[in-house]
């Protein structure tokens, strides 16, 4: 069998970096390109950070595209306190690659072109606000029919927020884009929500073992993850977690499910949408168990994974 063709749409903070490194280490994966957008940090930083990760893994041959710098309509927000102002833990690299390495084509155009050139073969993994994907489908309304699958890290199932009272960061950062994508994309769609990632968190002892590998990749990860780890181990953050303390690398769950069909052990199918109004609920994902939305397309909500397989993917990423 040929390699699985993957496009990554990222706002490269630390967890995106972890997801990218899992994909790079997987022998069955061919990354066609990486598209960047606003989110964890500004789009320029997201591009720089993506190039830094590729350089660390000796894979600067993979094309990187600059995407949207701001949401469709919402007020721009970043996660600088969480991932560091630069998105990678404020651990700069004076030898980092420059933005002259970016491709000229816009991210949304690149997504459409790569998918249409490989009909039925491409898996699109989105671990950022969905602005690039929304622009792609607005300008090319039918290209998503050529996608093999769409894997999203975002949204929530129990109105538990990590950014607003009821909102997960990626959806809150661009609610209109999330609405458009979940309304217009009719390919097989899988969603790794905030609560799902919390419930499938790994022990901190595993994180210690993971980072203790004697490799340049592990040392790079330890350096960029230090700021975020201190943040997530505070009492305030631990109270946000659904299932108690643990190592929750949010974006890696969507990526892992996209490249390993056997990773997901429990899921459910349901029609969904995104709330665009409401004082506390704007950006919240809504699950339609009553069928009131009359939507034919249902998404797969991830519930449980094979944690041993997941651990191995993470370990391989830093070898």
**Active-site residues: which are they?**
11
Phi, psi of 30, deg, nearest 5: -115, 115
Phi, psi of 175, deg, nearest 5: -60, -40
Beta strands in the chain (DSSP E): 4-10, 29-36, 64-66, 122-126, 147-153, 189-192, 264-274, 285-288, 299-305
β 4-10/264-274 pair status? unpaired
Q: How far is CA 142 from CA 115, 146, 184, 246, in A?
A: 11, 8, 9, 41
Nearest C-alpha neighbor of 252 from the set 54, 39, 57, 14: 14
Please return the burial class of 58, using the count of CB atoms within 10 Å of its CB with bins 0-12, 13-18 and 19+.
exposed
- Distance (Å, whole) CA 318 – CA 209: 11
């Amino acid at each position: 069998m040929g390699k699985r063709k993957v496009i990554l749409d990222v706002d490269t903070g630390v967890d995106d970096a972890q997801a990218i490194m899992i994909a790079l280490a997987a022998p069955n994966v061919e990354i066609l390109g990486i598209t960047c957008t606003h989110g964890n940090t500004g789009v320029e930083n997201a591009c720089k950070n993506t190039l830094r990760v590729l350089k660390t893994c000796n894979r600067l041959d993979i094309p990187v595209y600059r995407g949207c710098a701001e949401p469709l309509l919402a007020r721009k927000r970043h996660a600088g306190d969480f991932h560091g102002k630069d998105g990678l833990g404020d651990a700069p690299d004076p030898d980092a690659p420059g933005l002259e390495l970016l491709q000229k084509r816009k991210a949304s155009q690149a997504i459409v072109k790569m998918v249409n050139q490989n009909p039925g073969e491409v898996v699109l993994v989105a671990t950022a606000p969905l602005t690039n994907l929304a622009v792609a489908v607005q300008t090319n309304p039918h290209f998503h029919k050529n996608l093999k699958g769409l894997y999203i890290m975002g949204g929530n199932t129990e109105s538990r927020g990590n950014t607003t009272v009821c909102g997960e960061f990626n959806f809150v950062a661009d609610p209109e884009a999330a609405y458009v994508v979940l309304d217009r994309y009719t390919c097989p769609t899988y969603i790794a929500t905030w609560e799902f990632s919390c419930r499938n968190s790994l022990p901190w002892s595993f994180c210690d073992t993971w980072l203790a590998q004697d490799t340049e990749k592990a040392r790079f990860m330890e350096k960029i993850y230090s700021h975020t780890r201190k943040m997530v181990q505070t009492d305030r953050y631990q109270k946000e977690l659904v299932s108690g303390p643990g190592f929750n690398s949010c974006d890696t769950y969507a990526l892992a499910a996209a490249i390993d069909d056997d990773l997901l052990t429990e899921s459910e199918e349901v029609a969904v949408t995104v709330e665009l109004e409401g004082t506390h609920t704007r950006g919240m994902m809504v699950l339609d168990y009553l069928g009131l939305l009359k939507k034919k397309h249902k998404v797969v909500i991830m519930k449980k994974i094979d944690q041993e397989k997941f651990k191995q993917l993470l370990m391989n990423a830093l070898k």
